[in-house]
A and B are shown apart, each in its own frame.
Chain A
Amino acid sequence: MESVTKQIADWRLATGRFGQRKVFDLAAVSVRELNQYLHKELPENSLPTVVVNNPDGAHSIAAGMNALVDIEINGHVGYYVAGMNKHARIVVNGNAGPGAAENMMSGLVRVRGFASTSAGASARGGLLVIEGDASLRCGISLKGADIVVGGSVGSFSAFMAQAGRMVICDGAGDALGDSLYEAVIYVRGEVKSLGADAQFEPTTDTDRAVVAELLAVAGFKHDPSEFRRVASARKLYHWNAEAGQEY
């Protein structure tokens, strides 16, 4: 897997160099106009930073991005901000509704406030940073992306998470990592309960290095050794563990 630090460095090279700003005020224009611009009307080169004001909880802001562009959203957003994001670097200066960065493929999504349910659901690549708390089902069906949560995550987080890494800085609700596949969770603070087939495992230097790198990229200052590792016991990988046995 490409190191997150390198990805971030690549974005820095590719974006934010030119300083122009293109402002959309969602009190005056529709999300459709904004997304149409982001999908079809971005200039070929010298990309501007796209600024979105007055989102006021609107849905699907900057969903379906497919370009290396910086997007700043000032305010709280509704469902599916940055849904299915590819390449773009999107910052929400506020809270996010359900399904933030769902199915993200690459790029960076940062939510400065809290994120509602199913943040990073099924995300396959890139990095999602939530500076506040994440609600239930954060990282559900995770498929390869990295998620760093500055606060806590709600119950059923990382449910059936298949691949990728989650770093949780301040505790988790019930049934963390239920029916986990190969994703790995690093959690600091109290975990109310683990889900079926999830288990705490001893951390190695490699684990601590991963946590250190993700914390650094996300901008959180914690001691990596305070994080516990949660991974799959792999006992549910086969439904018929006693195949061939008959009584």
Chain B
Amino acid sequence: MSERMTISPGQTPSGLSLESSSTFDRSVIDYVQRASATGLYEIRGLGAKRRLPHFDDLVFLGASLSRYPLEGYREKCSTKTLLGTRFATKPIELAIPITIAGMSFGALSANVKEALGRAATEMGTSTTTGDGGMTPEERNSSKTLVYQCLPSRYGFDPDDVRRADAIEIVIGQGAKPGGGGMLLGQKVNPRVAKMRTLPEGVDQRSASRHPDWTGPDDLAIKIRELREITDWEKPIYVKVGATRVFNDVKLAVHSGADVVVVDGMQGGTAATQTVFIEHVGIPTLAALRQAVDALEDLNMRGKVQLIISGGIRSGADVAKAIAMGADAVSIGQGILFSLGCNSHTYVQDGRHVDAVSDYHALGTAPGFCHHCHTGRCPVGVTTQDAKLELRLQPEVGAKRVRNYLKTLNMELTTIARACGKQDVHHLEREDLVALTVEAAAMANIPLAGTSWVPGRV
């Protein structure tokens, strides 16, 4: 491709017409030209980057004269969360309603998986395996570990099923509902390859449907099989990527799930087609509303627990999700950022080491990087490279994630107390109002200062 001349505004000769197009802006032109040059779609990591209606578009109605707040420290605000109370004889009790989402060993390094287990254990919450099997590191470091059963079934093992604290059957992912897993060859190192029974260095693209069942009637039978294998002890979650959420949640409940996990389109991924990330699936806000509607329609609120994920970042997001009707949230990308994803530096033995040049080598910069798929993570989070993975020391990662979860939980209880709740699960959707018409319509919550909910008759 020929080199293009760049013109910076300071040097602009007078008389040039520089009107840019909204339809074909510079990113679109880049996309067309990259497609033309390579004949391939773009693959990347993380989640949707476009602006979407989200929890930021809601605010809480704190207590005042009509409702009375609780004091910050002396007056208790419980965050205890029970999951899997419907059929499992050994449901899960968490200290906080904030869990760590499924991210595979393969997408993440073994160090990172260990760090997540440690942090989750210290905070009294759960972590989740991912599309690559269970590593001894994460099992040993995690008090409560959710074991995913995915279409690929990589490394799926009955001993691990028995070792797990819950099983999560993954139907889809918010970043790519209807698509299968993907891990490019540069991350399929000998250990990853062995765990997944794949040739080393192969570009792994896994199936989008489970190999041994299709549809909710079969899923009911699959869930029964997993219950038989675990002697009905362990909670069984069903995770769906957000699309036709109302129907999917109902069918998951009919199929016998203890817990339904709904992942909105802002959810992250280790690698998939950009077109998938940005154009398939619905926003987390809309998905959560539909999921709660489905549970209420079936009169299953509190019997089947709902976990929402996909762009949960802050304690405010957690509080809003719970107020809208989630029992817990699950965080993936937030955890990666907590570990140092997109940071200028990584920490080695207490020192910050500059990583900017490594971002540049990938063709990106801190704050913009979504190059998880390359396996060349400059801060050692999403890599299988023997040198790069040392950039994330498990104890540093564990501490950072613990701090992050702790902050989120404190923010959550701050809001809950301000709304007068002795238990965060007592937050209700009437504690919220919306700032935009879109959010009001999607969340079915009145526009602030009005009683108007678009679409409500």
Contact = CB atoms under 8 A, between A and B. Distances in A.
A60 B198 contact: no
A162 interface: yes
Interface of A: 31-32, 35-36, 39-40, 59-60, 63-64, 66, 78-80, 83-84, 86, 98-99, 102-103, 105, 117-118, 121-122, 124, 137, 140-141, 143-144, 159-160, 162-163, 181-182, 237-240, 242, 245-247
Contacts of A39: 231
A83 B202 contact: no
Interface of A is mostly: loop
B399 interface: no
B158 interface: yes
A245 B37 CA distance: 8
A238 B202 CA distance: 6
A9 to B, nearest CB: 24
25 contacts: A31-B228, A40-B231, A59-B221, A60-B221, A63-B228, A64-B158, A64-B161, A64-B162, A66-B158, A66-B162, A79-B212, A79-B222, A80-B225, A84-B161, A84-B229, A86-B159, A117-B212, A122-B211, A143-B153, A144-B197, A181-B198, A182-B199, A237-B199, A238-B185, A246-B38
B207 interface: yes
B229 A141 contact: no
B21 interface: no
A84 B43 CA distance: 34
Given A59-B225, A63-B229, A118 B158 contact: no
B330 to A, nearest CB: 25
A79 to B, nearest CB: 5
B198 A102 contact: no
Nearest to A81: B225
B369 to A, nearest CB: 20
B156 A103 contact: yes
Which has the most chain A C-beta neighbours within 10 Å: B184, B213, B230? B213
Given A59-B225, A64-B162, A121-B211, 4 more contacts: A103-B153, A122-B211, A162-B197, A242-B39
Contact of A141 (B37, B152, B203): B152
B40 interface: yes
Counting from the closest, the 6 A-B pairs by CB-CB distance are: A64-B229, A99-B212, A121-B211, A84-B158, A122-B153, A121-B212
Contacts of B197: 124, 143-144, 162-163
Contacts of A86: 158-159
A60 B39 contact: no
A80 B221 contact: yes
A2 B383 CA distance: 33
Contacts of B159: 66, 86
B266 to A, nearest CB: 25
A145 B322 CA distance: 45
Contact of B224 (A59, A105, A121, A140): A59
A140 B222 CA distance: 16
Contacts of B225: 59-60, 63, 79-80, 83, 99
A160 B207 contact: yes
Contact of A103 (B38, B158, B202, B228): B158
Nearest to B228: A60
Contacts of B211: 102, 118, 121-122, 137, 140-141, 159
Interface in B199-252: 199, 202-203, 205-207, 211-213, 218, 221-222, 224-225, 228-232
A74 B349 CA distance: 64
Contacts of A245: 38
B157 interface: yes
B203 A83 contact: no
Given A102-B211, A144-B197, A83 B229 contact: yes
A93 B199 CA distance: 37
B37 A247 contact: yes
Nearest to A163: B197
Contact of A238 (B43, B157, B203, B221): B203
Contacts of A102: 211-212
Contacts of B213: 79, 98-99
Contacts of B153: 103, 121-122, 141, 143
Nearest to A160: B207
Contacts of A238: 185, 202-203
Which has the most chain B C-beta neighbours within 10 Å: A32, A103, A118? A103
